[in-house]
Amino acid sequence: MTHNPDAAAAEHAESRPVLVVDFGAQYAQLIARRVREASVYSEIVPHTITAAEIREKNPVGIVLSGGPSSVYEPGSPSLDPEILELGIPTMGICYGFQVMAQQLGGEVAKTGAREYGSTEVRLAGDGGVFLNEQPPTQSAWMSHGDSVVKAPEGFEVLASSDSTPVAAFGSDERKLYGVQWHPEVKHSAFGQQVLENFLHRAAGIAPEWNADNVIAEQVARIQAQVGSGRVICGLSGGVDSAVAAALVHEAVGDQLVCVFVDHGLLRQGEREQVEKDYVEATGIRLVTVDAADQFLTALAGVSDPETKRKIIGREFIRTFEAAQAELVAEFAAEGDPIKFLVQGTLYPDVVESGGGTGTANIKSHHNVGGLPEDLQFELVEPLRTLFKDEVRAIGRELGLPEAIVGRHPFPGPGLGIRIVGEVTFDRLELLRAADAIVRQELTAAGLDAEIWQCPVVLLADVRSVGVQGDGRTYGHPIVLRPVSSEDAMTADWTRLPYDVLARVSNRITNEVDGVNRVVLDVTSKPPGTIEWE
């Protein structure tokens, strides 16, 4: 490890959050990400949160998200009015802006003039502390039907558009501000500056949240939770489990032991990457279980994707439990039982499962099929407040190999769900070879950071006629599925350069026996999912 927190790190207090109040916005998570990009810690909370609950969380600021509703609709999301009286700097966005205006005595009306998409916004004067040092006219992204037509008493109108007389307002005295547009989306040319003006200037929040602080906080938290107890982690080789294990190891060292299950559904070189590069970088004790034959036997004759997932999950549980039982017996004999299980839960998992406090359910996509509910361990979840890009930053700070930290997301069931049809050894070898070529060419072209992931899919039950050499062939198609995304909730297909696609296609059809056609999936999500199965 390259990172060594000093003694002061153990006393590092957890960052006070900026709370993002979610009114049902599709962009609530994006707002939270943008706040963190300004080096300020953020958390998402429901709009039903009370003023008393807000006080308990002791936030340094509040951001009210947008939402699909109208403030005039019966039963539309509302806000505890006392929240705006707490003296906490608050910023409203779109629907949140209208809720602020209405509750503070302003006026929101159905003007009949809707604004959707790129809209020209004009600042009033210098824009005040909230919007200053920005162009007097700028392009912003709007999505609203109702409009604020009168600012609350004591508030200054800071911006307007052709259809919206009050597109932004603010009160420096009360530290309450709002905008009708969406500063969190990149279509708003100066959106991030609007957020940073609110956070750093209007609210006076220092940009102090960074990878070093996160590591220090989590090390202190893990040490307090685990004490001298033993910890086990199911290591998949993916970013989440790799960084989670590294953080725990940073905190408790040799009290942690990792189990790596090779189910035979991995991509080329992944087992070696974990056993050699990761272990060398961390010094973690790793127990590898070779279970490829067990999984292939269980999957024989099965083509249905859901059945495959269930089989892979079941076999993973059995394999992990067997390895866990051996380790539990080993440590129990030494009088030092295993009490804790590391889980790579990320913040989107917490939010999407309801954002509840306490221990989150173990989610199946982290550990292939979901670990049994009756495992007698207390969960250690060092990443549950982080987004994927933040996890990568933590991994780099901890000195993990770039091949692991920069790795594209890979499903727990592995290549088992990238073979459309029955999973066999020969088909796995074929797909492994094709996948390796795609990864090599994307890396050589410098495209790894530009795409979210690129599943390579084998249509095992489909054959097409081809011509290779002097004869006709009857081979399988390979599907390329390059996608761009920020969080995998939505995604668009990535426009890879034609020369890269040509090299990939030529190499696969020339080097991978049994493939005579390469096709490109150009479907967004929605309607299509990222994985085919």
Residues 6+ apart with CB under 8 A from 494: 450, 451, 452, 454, 482, 483, 484
Cis preceding linkage at 526, omega within 30: yes
The number of residues in the chain equals 533
CA–CA distances in Å: residue 516 to residues 126, 452, 477, 496, 512: 63, 27, 6, 21, 9
Cβ–Cβ under 8 Å, residues 392 and 406: yes
Concerning whether 182 is annotated as a catalytic residue, the answer is: yes
Report the alpha-carbon distance of residue 394 to residue 392 in Å, rounded.
5
Strand order of the sheet with strand 90-93? 42-46, 18-22, 61-64, 90-93, 176-179, 168-171, 156-160, 115-123, 137-144
Q: How buried is 116 (Cβ within 10 angstroms: 0-12 exposed, 13-18 middle, 19+ buried)?
A: exposed
Cβ–Cβ under 8 Å, residues 42 and 19: yes
CA–CA distances in Å: residue 500 to residues 445, 494, 503, 517: 7, 12, 5, 16
Among 12, 144, 182, 263, the active-site one is 182
Among 3, 115, 144, 184, the active-site one is 184
Concerning whether 258 is annotated as a catalytic residue, the answer is: no
Among 3, 47, 94, 476, the active-site one is 94
Report the alpha-carbon distance of residue 123 to residue 238 in Å, rounded.
46
Concerning whether 94 is annotated as a catalytic residue, the answer is: yes
Q: Which of 427, 311, 31, 46 is nearest to 191 (CA)?
A: 31
516: helix, strand or coil: strand
8-state DSSP, 198 = I
Report the alpha-carbon distance of residue 232 to residue 258 in Å, rounded.
6
- The label of the residue with tokens 């790579």 reads 344
Residues marked as catalytic: 94, 182, 184
